[in-house]
Chains A and B, each alone.
Chain A
Amino acid sequence: MSEVSHAAIALVPASCTSCLICVRECPAWCIELDSHVEQVSEPGARRPRSVSVLDRFAIDYALCMYCGICVDVCPFDALHWVGAPVEPAGTRGDLVLGTDELAGLAAPTAPGEDWTRDERGGARG
């Protein structure tokens, strides 16, 4: 089987800041994101910082058109292409992959195999 470098899109939950840019830019509206804001107090700070905490990230692979816009627009590289396709499913709901499933997709495509990146790993264009 011939391998391609952009068969599915995976998530690095620790890198996601819940900024919602991917959700808004997705032409198919296939990304769902839930988050909440926590106040983080630090010694000596004048007031607590507000930090977004990711509760749930899901891609509906029944809707996704694999355009990669979410990968391109993510300012924190929390989304990346993987080479293995999403498995066929018996129900449409099973094609909605949540945070853990998206994080568990195959390892990131190596630099050079990813056509959206140049040789040094920077985004093209």
Chain B
Amino acid sequence: MAEVDVPPRVFRLPSAPGTRVVVASAGLACCAMEVESAVRRGLLVAHTGSIEPGDRCLLLVAGTVTEALGPAVRRLLVDLPAGTRVVSFGACAASGGPYWDAPTVLSGVDQLVEVDRYVPGCPPRPDDLVAALADLVGSGAA
């Protein structure tokens, strides 16, 4: 199988003032639309610069993680700084969701990488996303 890459989108999180939070988003399926909704409402702001030392990094996995895209998601995390925390957004990323019985879908991204926070919903709302991200960077070392 040819290797597929998931180009991450990188955002800043305005709702966590005082800390520089970089959110790398892997939009794999329809939950990515909720991330875009958060961007359009200014809850996430596109980040143009590079990731600097001291930045707190979060990897946001939004959408269905298929067998084909799993390695790409793992590579994303490898490329991010050590200590990057992982947020599973939506039912598919948490467990496979409606596709729990599909042979080509992983039963959650935690089959690949350790997840720090699961946001339930199908899809969750943009507000829930931003609240979970801010809570995660506020609740301990990122």
Chain A residues with a Cβ under 8 A of chain B: 1-2, 4, 7, 27-29, 60-66, 85-86, 88-92, 94-95
Contacts and interface: CB of A to CB of B under 8 A. Distances in A.
Given A63-B91, A85-B124, A95 B98 contact: no
Q: Which of A4, A29, A85, A88 has the most CB of B within 10 A?
A: A88
Interface residues of B, number: 24
Contacts of A61: 120
A94 to B, nearest CB: 8
Main secondary structure of the interface of B (DSSP, over half): mixed
B20 interface: no
Contacts of A28: 91, 97-98, 100
Contact of A64 (B122, B127, B131): B122
Given A62-B95, A64-B122, A65-B122, A29 B100 contact: yes
Closest 3 CB pairs of A and B: A62-B94, A61-B120, A65-B122
Nearest to B97: A65
Contacts of A95: 94, 118, 120
